[in-house]
Amino acid sequence: MKVYLDNAATTKLDKCVLDEMIPYLTDVYGNASSIHSFGREAQEAVDNARMKIAKLLGATDSEIYFTSGGTESDNWVLNGIAKNYKNKGKHIITTKIEHPAMLNTCAKLEKEGYSITYLDVNKEGIIELSSLENAVREDTILVSVMFANNEIGSIQPIEKIGAFCKEKGILFHTDAVQAATSIRIDLNKFNIDMLSMSAHKFNGPKGVGLLYIRNGINIASFINGGHQERNYRAGTTNTPAIVGMAKALEITYKNMEENNKKILKLRDYFVDKILENIPDCKINGSKNNRLLGNVNIGFDYVKGESMVIALDLKGIAVSSGSACVAGSSEPSYVIAALGGKKEDSENSVRFSIGKDNTIEEIDYTIEVLIKLVSKMREVSSLFKIIKGGTLEV
């Protein structure tokens, strides 16, 4: 059996999304910037997609900018605000558990003379509002706090942060790349000034995302070239991907309640069975204040990376730490930020359940996990695990 439990890394393209995209990959192939009919037809599709997305998010279409995904949106926000607001100040507040797209851009800005405050999180992976209040300075130009974390799924108090930033007159950005799948985001209610999203996390195509920028914010353009995206983000418009993202978001919003209910049921069943049958393991992050499909488990005496490899051999796809930083066997900085034992950041495995998972797949995963964890605790080194042979389950 093959089981995909890595929906936080990416999701399967929805068939209806593909159908919506195909005409723009085949017949309607004009460049959306061209003035002839081929181009105009493509531009019309992009305009419609922008309007559809704006409506779903409670924005106006002039506030939606298409990008190549979450990484680009995060980079743009930080660089664009830092550049245009530097006369007001050079201080930015974020958290210790942001995605590398944020953290590595912050590190770059620090080298350029900006000052960044990285807020701590509590043991549930959530920031304390008081730490944000204490961190604010005269020269703070931006607060950027992710909506929900990619590794442990913890959901931040976005509405409260938004209200606080509004009161202080500080711009507020949130990386909603993980949250968009299961949470209806109300930009106005939450006082969000800027927001990053990525289509491939909600059954849309890869390589397309958006940055919501509230009207009136003076952000610097990110990619220079042609006049696309109102001169802010140059490059030939990716018409099929944009059309696909709009369709994917529409389907996601339409089915959200039903899918959330199904995912929650699978998640609770999975967690209960694991805790019941596997000793010395714990759920990392918040019990309730987390993304529905996220199950991050720390298995004592077992390395997370080894578990990922061993589960893969049984056809089960999961992540240790974040897939976006995979390839490095660094301990998880997100788990480390929760303040537990050192080993906690090395023995975690992320299972991310999606709308297409079934109870049979979850049962199979539980069955494999129970045997695997026990076997792996008998072997002593990562070497033995990678070489296999001792891991027949």
Catalytic residues: 324
Instruction: For the CB of residue 265, give the shortest distance to ligand PLP in the complex, in Å.
Output: 24
Instruction: For the CB of residue 156, give the shortest distance to ligand PLP in the complex, in Å.
Output: 11
Instruction: For the CB of residue 53, give the shortest distance to ligand PLP in the complex, in Å.
Output: 15
List residues binding ligand PLP (CB under 6 A).
69-71, 74, 99, 101, 146, 150, 175, 177-178, 198, 209, 324
Measured from the CB atom, the residue of 245 and 391 that comes closer to ligand PLP is 245
Transcribe 336-349 into DSSP letters.
HHTT--GGGGTSEE
Taking the alpha carbons of 115, 120, 121, 127 in that order, is the dihedral positive or negative?
Answer: negative
- As beta bridge partners, residue 117 has 93
For the beta carbon of residue 19, count every other beta carbon within 10 angstroms: 11
d(CA 310, CA 388): 8
- Output 101-105 pairs: Cβ under 8 A, ≥24 positions apart: 101/70, 101/71, 101/74, 101/75, 101/175, 101/324, 102/74, 102/78, 102/144, 102/146, 102/175, 105/74, 105/75, 105/78, 105/79
d(CA 109, CA 58): 31
Measured from the CB atom, the residue of 30 and 76 that comes closer to ligand PLP is 76
Measured from the CB atom, the residue of 147 and 164 that comes closer to ligand PLP is 147
For the beta carbon of residue 110, count every other beta carbon within 10 angstroms: 12
CA angle 328, 7, 353 (to 5 degrees): 120
Measured from the CB atom, the residue of 180 and 316 that comes closer to ligand PLP is 180
Instruction: For the CB of residue 145, give the shortest distance to ligand PLP in the complex, in Å.
Output: 11
d(CA 195, CA 271): 31
- Helices (H), ranges, 58-157: 70-84, 100-111, 129-135
Integer-rounded Cα Rg, in Å, for the chain is 22
Instruction: For the CB of residue 149, give the shortest distance to ligand PLP in the complex, in Å.
Output: 7
Instruction: For the CB of residue 250, give the shortest distance to ligand PLP in the complex, in Å.
Output: 19
d(CA 52, CA 42): 15
